[in-house]
Chain A
């Protein structure tokens, strides 16, 4: 991992560490259920304890997403969502909170716009960088060049099945943090945290990653505490999307307080 003082997500993770805790990273889909509510929900999430916001860009073929997130993003696409909306949301949330905002996107959406243009618009909106779940460093020459040029974080995933060589490749290519995949599967709330997560964090750290955050299947305060004992950050997605679906921005704020241990 390239140590870069200007990495917004690294700074947010380090600030949490300074308070003796791991960072809390919350995911919400862009434009769900509508543009304005998604901005309000993101602001509520940050004001109630999230250190970093992850904004998912709805995509037609989300192979890493489980039913809850698929359903949400399908609805967003069905109402005629256009990608420019994402940059508006990133800007609105960044302006309102100053938090580090990453987008989470399947790579074809970046590819279609062009890696350089996508990075330029993301920087312009005040974004911190991107998490790319279906992009491995082996295929990422364009994205690495674009994020280098604009100083954006690029978060690659490390999996329980990654070999030591691949773990090292991911650690070296990532900037901001490494996304440690805690389970073999797609997004979705689960009852318990797999012990694979700790192994992924250990392996990534041994391979040189300075910051490793863990996601997939995290849905309760107890998971956050457990993962927080060994990881630099904990990523929650589906549970927040469910809260937004059922209770709007207010419910997102409430769950964020619970997850971050503030209530």
Chain B
């Protein structure tokens, strides 16, 4: 196999990437880059990493065909890469275990992380517990409210969760606060960035730890169908689960790759998180990439029903792959996403993370667009996480909770609204 897009090295991906960071942190970034470069070439490191993947995370994750879900969407066969079955419930653990091993090599004893939905925070708290390290997780105040149970999970795992009240109180503000911590604590602390954004070497390093998703998925789909898929679909916030599964197929030109961004209320409303669809080149959190910004260059607050996709930029390699036309990025609205969420729950007995439901909605849309031609086609969807954390949000969306406000109670208030609202 020729390598055109695979194994792309930082700091630059075309015009994107780099290190737009305060000088104070450059020495630490150099140290991480150097340690990572040596570690991935060191069999002792890679054996330890893949041992943890097998014996702690539970890899390889399954590839599950979802016939009933696929039949509702269209004619194509749909397979789910089951990252939701990993320990801690999402793909995030792949990266965190890798970076915790890097932190140990660096002699760091404290891990800090940002989190949106809480999946990366939970994964980091888990790795800190496993490695006997101190852990602090920064989380936007708005997100601590919509993901209260994940806050409790992190605390049970021994982490301190610090709510961030600045700005939009979401993922980007949590990253700002984590960077402020890091610049003051870099002697003892490794910043476990949770996605393929940020300064070099994070986009390359975080991707490397997630490449296992795509490598497994490629082998599994060949084993289960005897062929490569026609399309691979993933949700994109910062873009770590997407780059992880795409990487396995980047140099298979017949496999179309689709990244689904959070369309919020619809990109026309301005309330969305579709950085590639509507963003412009800019620098945020250490990387040049597509960025949701106003005319002055101020970051525009993003919006999504999914806290994990609520980020106004995207990993620089995604910006590059979009410009190259190798990956197609499209928005999926909250309503489309929740429709797919409900469909998977009902037809397959799998409750997906709301993030991952964006990819399911995209795959369903693709299959519908193919019409009867879809009968001969295969889609692999990265089911990046499970939806236990999202039950409260979904219950509210579908009006499943007992009405708190008696004045609002109408005659049919007890009836679930599933499938109607979306």
Interface check B366, CB cutoff 8 A: no
Shortest distance from the beta carbon of A163 to any chain B beta carbon, whole Å:
6
Known: A108-B283, A166-B23. A63 touches B296 (CB 8 A): no
Of A23-31, A89-97, A131-139, A253-261, the one contacting chain B is: A131-139
- Asked whether A74 lies within 8 Å of B167 as measured between CB atoms, the reply is yes
Is A87 part of the binding interface, using a Cβ–Cβ cutoff of 8 Å?
A: no
Q: Tell me the minimal C-beta distance from A169 to chain B in angstroms.
A: 10
Whether, in the assembled complex, B19 has its beta carbon less than 8 Å from a beta carbon of chain A, the answer is yes
Is A166's CB under 8 angstroms from B184's CB? no
CB distance from B30 to the nearest CB of A (A): 8
CB distance from B13 to the nearest CB of A (A): 14
Contact A161 B176 (CB under 8 A): no
Q: Interface extent on A, as a size class?
A: 35 or more
- Across the interface, which residues of B come within 8 angstroms of A112, CB to CB? 280, 282, 293, 295-297
Residue A150 lies at the interface, judged by CB distance under 8 Å to chain B: no
Cβ of A121 to closest chain B Cβ, rounded Å:
13
A111 to B293, CA, bound (A): 11
The proximity string for A residues 88-124 relative to B, scoring 1 for CB distances below 8 Å and 0 otherwise, is 0000000000000000000111111100000000000
B285: chain A residues at CB < 8 Å are 61, 63
Residues of chain B within 8 A of A134, CB atoms compared: 20-22, 283
* Complex: chain A residue closest to B300, CB-CB: A60
Given the interface pairs A108-B293, A159-B24, the reply to whether A60 lies near B167 with Cβ below 8 Å is: yes
Query: B299 touching A186 by the CB < 8 A rule?
Result: no
CB distance from B175 to the nearest CB of A (A): 8
In the complex, A147 has a CB within 8 A of chain B: no
Which residues of B in the span 170-205 have a Cβ within 8 Å of any Cβ on A? Answer: 172-173, 176, 179-180, 183-187
Does B376 reach chain A (CB closer than 8 Å)? no
A156 touches B23 (CB 8 A): yes
User: Which residue in chain B gives the minimum CB-CB distance to A113?
Assistant: B297
A64/B22 in contact, CB under 8 A = yes
Q: Is B26 an interface residue (CB 8 A)?
A: yes
Output the nearest chain B residue to A186 by Cβ-Cβ distance. B180
- Are A63's CB and B180's CB within 8 A? yes
Which residues in chain B, 17-38, are within 8 Å of chain A measured between CB atoms?
A: 18-28, 30
Which residues of chain A in 124-159 are interfacial with respect to chain B, using CB atoms and an 8 Å cutoff? 133-136, 138-139, 156-159
Does any Cβ of A come within 8 Å of B275's Cβ? no
Query: 3 tightest A-B contacts by CB?
Result: A112-B297, A185-B184, A161-B27
Query: What are 29 A-B contacts defined by CB distance under 8 Å?
Result: A63-B176, A63-B285, A64-B180, A66-B180, A83-B297, A110-B297, A133-B22, A135-B20, A136-B19, A136-B20, A136-B21, A136-B26, A138-B19, A139-B18, A139-B20, A157-B22, A157-B24, A159-B26, A161-B26, A161-B186, A162-B23, A166-B23, A166-B26, A166-B27, A170-B23, A184-B184, A184-B186, A186-B183, A186-B184
